[in-house]
Structure 1
Amino acid sequence: GHPPRARPAPAGRPRSGVEDVMDDARRPKSRTGSDRQEPEPAPAHSPRPQGSTGPAGLTRRSLLHGGVLATALAALELAGRSSTVPMRTVSASSPGDRAGVPALPDIQFDIAGYTAPVTTEDGVEVQFGPVHTLFVTARLLRAPTRMDQAKLSGALAAIERAYPFSPAGVFTFVSYGLPYFSRLPGGLHGPLVSAHMPRLTSAAGRYALEEAVAGPTDVGPANPGIVKRRFNVPVSIEDNDLLFTLRSDDAGHIQDVLRWLGGSQVLAGRPQPSPHLEDLLAFTSSRAMFTQIGLPRKLADAESLVYAFMVNPKSPMWMGFADQQVAGSAPAADVTFRASGLTTCGPGDYFDHGAVQHLSHVILDLKQFYDVDDAGVPGDDAAFSERVQYMFRSTPPPSAGNADQITDGGGPAFLPNTFRGTDDAELSARGIGTPEGEHRIGHLSCLQRSSRRADGSPLHLRMDGPGYDSMDVPDGSAQPKLEFTAFVPTAEFFARMRTDQASLDLASRHGVPEDENGLERFLTATRRQNFLTPPRRHRAFPLVELI
């Protein structure tokens, strides 16, 4: 490697773009089609403790216009300033229209054929989804009725009429947490839910949808020995009823949909009555995600982050390594309840084309990951050759990087996500095949202990990306985030995969130091929850029509 290079300390912290946008959000604005004024947003809230039901007395309308969405809208605006709307060539396999009606997939999250064909970056096959994604969680204020089901179904259909089902328009997914199913007649284990909820083939007494649990390296009472260096925030297992996922290449389209849901009466520039669900839903959180080549570096430069010069200018991710490799994710159809082989669900069952969606909010300690001090001076572990092993593996590392191991990341952003067997992480932990026999564990090799079928094909569909906001940050500052979501066949599958990601068993058994264990020390998950994503035909309040 090369000796650390001093970087000049900034003369003074420039004003954050997030702060500018938040100030804009606080200024009174005229509503479209109305002379009413927007109220001042409330401060961003901290994650609720386990078992809580959210802030009392807040209506869906006040939450839409208050602090819950303000941070995400600010982050969308900030990312939108630095991003570009790509010119996409839609895959030739994209379903066409039948009699003018789009043949949209019954698997809600099956959008690969509507985005763009697989491309190659530095010899690695990748595929990118929409640039912008907004996750909005909500709780129900009462049990939904058939009339509510019709209203939500009509609202979703109106969005798809106004905006095409494509990155140029808006993709909308709706998923449901365990609290939703507990509200249905008979509750979670009553005859209605139990008759239709997929179960594990390995344990028929367990549902495919179970609540998320704290990961082995999450901060909290379950892990009293886990302490993070900078962001020591306990994880909250959320209890939301619904999760809305909105995706588009144009951040303005997502903002327009939110304003319409909040009562603007205008959608895509045309009059459209907003849905009247004020007495039914209350939004509880929102998280903005952006994914585009080079966008993290642009934001890092704009925000004068001390490690900006080390963020690879080609990477779509904060840590400098792309994770949009085609080889690292399964096709949507493979992770559904009916196709995975891990559940009792069969073709034609109510939830056959559904899956479990895990949602996490993760603060990234990039100062520690890039090993720079407050003045931007790199330390002993700043070299690309170190970071690539934490991300991938050490048996051997997938790349040695550039002669200059520091500037612009010090090596390539696009590397193959190669499956080297379920025992690769253990070999690395034992120091077999690693540089100088080091006992070190790589993030991806640990995941591959259980994330793939016997033939090496993935059994999960990742849809994660960078964020940048102040949610859950103790001092209220904007920080780089990982907005992580994945579609999996069962909650049990994800829990096992997350345990293997940490691989504390291998670290303990083979003497792997904490500072050689993958990415765990750089990640602080502050929120987790599992949801069931039903088939499109049942996406509006599933099972209510059977009551």
Structure 2
Amino acid sequence: MPSRRSMLGKLAVAAGIGVAGCTTGAPPGLPLDANPHSVPSRQFAQNDVLRRDADGNELQARHRRILLLDLKREPSEEAAEAVERALRTVESAYDWAPDGLFHALAWGSTYFDDNGALGRVPIEHPEVLTRTDDEALQRFDAMLVLESDVQSHLPAAESALFGSRDELNGEPVEHTLDGVFRRRDRRTGFLGEGLPAEHVDVEGLEADAPMFSGFFSGREGSQASEDRVAIEDGPLAGGTTAHLSHITFDLPSWFSFDQGSRIGKMFSPDFTGEDVADLGTDVPFADAVREHARDHGSVGHHEKVARVRRDGEPLVLRRDFNTVDDGRTGVHFLSYQRELEHFRRTRKSMNGWYLRDDHPDITDRENNGILEFISTESRANFVVPPREKRAFPLTIT
């Protein structure tokens, strides 16, 4: 007897939303302009409404929640309508703004694989990308990303979406995701000045630090633009791909080094405290990582990843954030990129394997940026469709 999973693709086609089915993405009777608040087609588009610091860098939302989901039912027009109506409830309740709620529904490698479409979307199942970590390669049907400066908006939205409340910020909740998805995992965290020190007590972490590392990492010039990561054409035009890693960070070991050493490990051996203090919207680097390896016997994290650019621009848009999930300090590394190969290239450059022959002191971990202090626990891959195709995006031709 065929398994439920083996039948998903056939049922999707029969329901009219499969690979040869619905081409609009929006379920029947739900016009795309029905939202009371303006919501962009690109689910990852935020930069135009984010706050900015004194230098002009975007300040991302301070609180994050990621729900990792498995399907409870087969694709159908009814299921697609339930998903779309539930998400529109959230959009009715909150502005698309930092003090409202950003949200994105992405679809994982399991969903596309089970429906025979994995070879026709720009993602694959995750793969091991380090030689030192025991990486769990995770597969999900979907991922829901929630972001806001107002921490209480995140549990409120989750509760509304999964049937635990009948109103959300004054809006009635008449449709939920609970009949469609099962929550398998939840990732939580924070990003912004002062928040890390509110969650951990580690000597050396300054009270106003935005990240556990003690440094600000979201400078405009070190991020891909939203245009750069957007898929340009085809059925998923306006969408992107997402990679999610859980990385633990050994803060006591990191802060056992003095500030100058941490600057060298994070940026490059020729960076000083004055250099970091003077940074504005970019982190300027000479392409000298191999020279630094030979001359100093160590290299910085940023100078390695800065080598992966196109037309001078990074290929990856980071929406990573600090976490203390499971009682461990770390980072949930969420990145958007036009194709996953861009993330893999960036991570492989960060690995620094190509520097091993330049100096005997450089190993896969030691004197190799921040790799001595972090470990990748898990990886998962997703497609983030444009908003009009976010409910069961099987219109891949």
Confirm or deny a common fold (TM above 0.5).
Answer: yes
> What residue number does 2:167 align with?
266
Distance of 1:235 and 1:182 partners within structure 2: 21
> What residue number does 1:188 align with?
118
> What residue number does 1:357 align with?
242
Distance of 1:100 and 1:188 partners within structure 2: 31
The RMSD of aligned alpha carbons is 2.4
Instruction: Write the deviation string for residues 379-398 of structure 1: whole angstroms up to 9, x where unpaired.
Output: xxx2111000110111x114
Aligned residues: 363
> What residue number does 1:239 align with?
139
Distance of 2:278 and 2:136 partners within structure 1: 32
Q: Confirm or deny: 8 A CA contact 1:212 1:491 kept in the other structure.
A: no
Distance of 1:178 and 1:541 partners within structure 2: 13
Instruction: Describe the shift of the 1:275–1:176 C-alpha distance in structure 2 as closer, same or farther (beyond 3 A).
Output: same
* Structure 2 stretches lacking a partner, 5+ long: 6-32
Shift of 1:446: 0.7
Query: Does 2:353 correspond to 1:468?
Result: no
Q: Confirm or deny: 8 A CA contact 1:315 1:414 kept in the other structure.
A: no
Instruction: Describe the shift of the 1:485–1:248 C-alpha distance in structure 2 as closer, same or farther (beyond 3 A).
Output: same
* 3-state SS, counterpart of residue 113 of structure 2: helix
Q: Confirm or deny: 8 A CA contact 2:89 2:171 kept in the other structure.
A: no
> TM-score by structure 2 length?
0.85
Q: Confirm or deny: 8 A CA contact 2:41 2:238 kept in the other structure.
A: yes
Query: Does 2:290 correspond to 1:426?
Result: yes
Instruction: Write the deviation string for residues 279-332 of structure 1: whole angstroms up to 9, x where unpaired.
Output: x321111111211212112322xxxx3x33x11222200010110111111221
Shift of 1:538: 0.7
In the TM superposition, what are the counterparts of 1:144-543 in structure 2 within 5 Å? 144-184=75-115, 186-189=116-119, 194=120, 197=121, 208-219=122-133, 234-263=134-163, 264-275=165-176, 277-278=178-179, 280-300=180-200, 305=201, 307-308=202-203, 310-338=204-232, 346=233, 349-371=234-256, 382-394=257-269, 396-399=270-273, 417-421=282-286, 423-431=287-295, 438-450=296-308, 452-453=309-310, 455-470=311-326, 478-514=327-363, 515-543=366-394
> What residue number does 1:224 align with?
none
> What residue number does 2:42 align with?
107
What is the percent sequence identity of the aligned residues? Answer: 25
* 3-state SS, counterpart of residue 39 of structure 2: coil
Query: Does 2:58 correspond to 1:127?
Result: yes
Shift of 1:159: 0.5
Instruction: Describe the shift of the 1:483–1:188 C-alpha distance in structure 2 as closer, same or farther (beyond 3 A).
Output: closer
> TM-score by structure 1 length?
0.62
Aligned AA for 1:112?
Answer: N
Q: Confirm or deny: 8 A CA contact 2:315 2:342 kept in the other structure.
A: no
* 3-state SS, counterpart of residue 356 of structure 2: helix
In the TM superposition, what are the counterparts of 1:57-96 in structure 2 within 5 Å? none
Instruction: Write the deviation string for residues 263-287 of structure 1: whole angstroms up to 9, x where unpaired.
Output: 1222224432242643x32111111
Aligned AA for 1:211?
Answer: H
* 3-state SS, counterpart of residue 520 of structure 1: coil
Instruction: Describe the shift of the 1:398–1:125 C-alpha distance in structure 2 as closer, same or farther (beyond 3 A).
Output: farther
Shift of 1:415: 6.8
Name which one, 1 or 2, has greater alpha-carbon Rg. Answer: 1
Q: Which has the higher strand share?
A: 2
Instruction: Write the deviation string for residues 327-370 of structure 1: whole angstroms up to 9, x where unpaired.
Output: 111221121121xxxxxxx2xx2101111111111111011111
Shift of 1:509: 3.8
